[in-house]
C-alpha cells in the first residue's frame, strides 16, 4: 500500500515542516506532505512538477514539462506517516497536486497518525473518499475560475460545490489575477449560498512584486465584499521554492 508523492529533489519526497502560507491557518507551524497527480491543468499552476510531465500537452504558461521519474515518488504509507510524525507537529497540511485523487491510500496513512489535526488543500472537484472524510478537520477548497484555463464542467461541478458549501469544515480560497475575476466568485457565492466570511481571496503570483501589486487592489475588494484576504506567506519568506 503506497502513496504517490511529489519530490523536492529526485528521490526525496516533499514532506517538510514550515509555516502555513495561505488561508485561515496562515502562520501556523505545521507539517506538510505534497502528493503528486492532478485532474485539472491550471495554466498558472505554481506546482506543475506534480502533474505536467513530459508528453502532457495541456498548456502551462512556462511552457515546460517535467520528467516524471525525477519529480514523482511512490512510498509505503507507513514510511510517509513515520516521516510526518518525526516533525512532531500537531497539525498536518496535505497538498498537491490534487490530494483527494488518492483518498483511500491517504486515509490509511492518516490512520497511523492519531490525534493529528489535518487540513486538505483541494481544487474542490473531487469527492473525498468515505474512509478519509472523518479524518479531516478542515478542507481548504480552491475552485478554479475561468482564468485558470480549465473547462467549467471539470473545474466547477455543481454537485461538488454544493457539497462543500454544506460542509462547515470547508473554507473557500479563490485565486484572483485581475479585478474582473471577482464577479465569478460573487456568482458562485450567491449560487451556492457561501457566506463571505468563508471566502478567502488570494492574488495569483509567484514573486513578491506581483503579489504586492495585486494585493493592493485585492484588499479593497475584500473590504468591499466582507471577504478575507490571504497573502502567500511562504513566497514572502522563502520565494517560489519546493519544500517550503
The model's pLDDT over 107-165, given as tens digits with 9 standing for 90+, comes to 999 999 999 999 999 999 999 999 999 999 999 999 999 999 999 999 999 999 999 99
CB atoms within 10 A of CB 151: 11
For the residues 178-189, what does the mean pLDDT come to? 98
Per-residue pLDDT at 177: 98
Average pLDDT along the chain: 97
| 3-55 per-position pLDDT tens digit | 999 999 999 999 999 999 999 999 999 999 999 999 999 999 999 999 999 99
Q: What is the pLDDT of residue 94?
A: 99
CA distances in angstroms from 39 to 7, 102, 151, listed in the order given: 19, 11, 12
pLDDT tens by residue, 193-214: 999 999 999 999 999 999 999 9
**Spans of all domains in the chain:** 2-171
CATH of 2-171, one of 3.40.190, 3.20.20, 1.20.950, 3.30.2320: 3.20.20
Residues 51-86 pLDDT 10s: 999 999 999 999 899 999 999 999 999 999 999 999
Q: Beta 29-34 vs 72-76: how paired, if at all?
A: unpaired
Amino acid at each position: 500500500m503506497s502513496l504517490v508523492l511529489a519530490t523536492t529533489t529526485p528521490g526525496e519526497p516533499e514532506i517538510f515542516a514550515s509555516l502555513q502560507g495561505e488561508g485561515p491557518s496562515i502562520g501556523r507551524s505545521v507539517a506538510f506532505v505534497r502528493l503528486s497527480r492532478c485532474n485539472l491543468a491550471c495554466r498558472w499552476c505554481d506546482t506543475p512538477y506534480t502533474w505536467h510531465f513530459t508528453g502532457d500537452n495541456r498548456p502551462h504558461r512556462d511552457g515546460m514539462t517535467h520528467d516524471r521519474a525525477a519529480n514523482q515518488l511512490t512510498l509505503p504509507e507507513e514510511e510517509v506517516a513515520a516521516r510526518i510524525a518525526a516533525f512532531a507537529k500537531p497539525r498536518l497540511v496535505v497538498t498537491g497536486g490534487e490530494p483527494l485523487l488518492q483518498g483511500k491510500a491517504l486515509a490509511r496513512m492518516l490512520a497511523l497518525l492519531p490525534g493529528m489535526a489535518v487540513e486538505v488543500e483541494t481544487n474542490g472537484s473531487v469527492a473525498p473518499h468515505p474512509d478519509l472524510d472523518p479524518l479531516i478537520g478542515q478542507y481548504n477548497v480552491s475552485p478554479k475560475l475561468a482564468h485558470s484555463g480549465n473547462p467549467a464542467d471539470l473545474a466547477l461541478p455543481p454537485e461538488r460545490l454544493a457539497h462543500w458549501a454544506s460542509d462547515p469544515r470547508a473554507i473557500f480560497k479563490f485565486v484572483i489575477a485581475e479585478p474582473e475575476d471577482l464577479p465569478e466568485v460573487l456568482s458562485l457565492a450567491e449560487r451556492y449560498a457561501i457566506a463571505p466570511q468563508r471566502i478567502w481571496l488570494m492574488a495569483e503570483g509567484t514573486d513578491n512584486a506581483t503579489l504586492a501589486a495585486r494585493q493592493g487592489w485585492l484588499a479593497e475588494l475584500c473590504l468591499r465584499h466582507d471577504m478575507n484576504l490571504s497573502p502567500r506567506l511562504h513566497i514572502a519568506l522563502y520565494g517560489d521554492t519546493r519544500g517550503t
